[in-house]
Amino acid sequence: MSILRKAFCLSAFVAAFLTLSTPVFAGDVGVILMHGKDGTSRPKSPIGKLTGFLEGDFKVTALTMAWSRDRGWEKTLEETFAEIDTAVAEMKAAGATKVVVGGHSMGAAAALAYATRTDGLAGVVMLAPGHRPDLRADDNFAAISKAKELVEAGKPDDDVEISDRNQGKDIPRVLQADVALSWFDPDGLAVMQNAAPKVRPGTPVLFAIGQKDRLLPVGKELIFDAIPANDKSAYIVVPGGHKVTPIKAKSQVADWLNTL
């Protein structure tokens, strides 16, 4: 056999071996990320930096949500689900065979709520989960009652004033009745401990929280432990506080995504 023919055969063997043994790389995993309350998905934001870190190995998109500083809370939770549905469909059209939905702070709460009504998610990533309307239930009782009355009366676009809090800072918000009810009803799905036990079975969840986060003392028992058990679910504590968790946890997020 000539040297040229031997080289050709060897090349053919290697090509066949590579074809038969090609693994499923993490590039088949699509990740949809959502920023925190009054935040942004821009490149220098916490979620933007995480997106940049993950992009080399995964298909990643960072959405600008209704609770961003640019959009002004104009969508209900249910309308937000529709926006995430669109992002999931686009991710699958781009070639993702597994789709993970996640977020930072309020984005984590939205991702968890989304997982209560969506089958087939490859996972949920919760980074420094936030948004606790249950803690403002007494302050907002009158406003939520009014919002319910307005919605029932066919006036969902009428405004109510809600008392909100973002990392210790009180923030008054004037919102449409349906929006206020969707996000601030203490009995609603936007409350993480309400959503947690309703997550679709078979959905793994990564819950990452900072050592200095206000939620740390209660987050695991209140939320993570209430999510249906899954062998791939993980609870991790990283250095720092609420804002930096997406950056501090970036390597653990990548490692976890590679297990899906």
What is the tens place of the pLDDT at every residue in 18-32?
Answer: 333 233 345 699 999
Lowest mean pLDDT among 7-21, 31-45, 80-94, 237-251: 7-21
Q: Tokens 């939905």 belong to which residue?
A: 101
pLDDT (0 to 100) of residue 167: 77
pLDDT (0 to 100) of residue 1: 43
For the chain, domains (ranges, CATH) are 26-131+190-260 (3.40.50.1820), 132-187 (no CATH)
Lowest mean pLDDT among 18-27, 90-99, 163-172, 185-194: 18-27
Q: Is the pLDDT of residue 5 over 80?
A: no
> Crossing angle for the helix pair 77-93 and 177-184, nearest 10 degrees?
80
pLDDT (0 to 100) of residue 23: 30
pLDDT (0 to 100) of residue 19: 30
pLDDT (0 to 100) of residue 26: 52
Count the neighbouring beta carbons within 10 Å of the beta carbon of residue 171. 11
Count the neighbouring beta carbons within 10 Å of the beta carbon of residue 254. 17
Average pLDDT, the chain: 91
Residue-wise pLDDT for 195-236, tens only, equals 999 999 999 999 999 999 999 999 999 999 999 999 999 999
Position 8 confidence tier, pLDDT thresholds 50, 70, 90? very low
Q: Is the pLDDT of residue 171 over 50?
A: yes
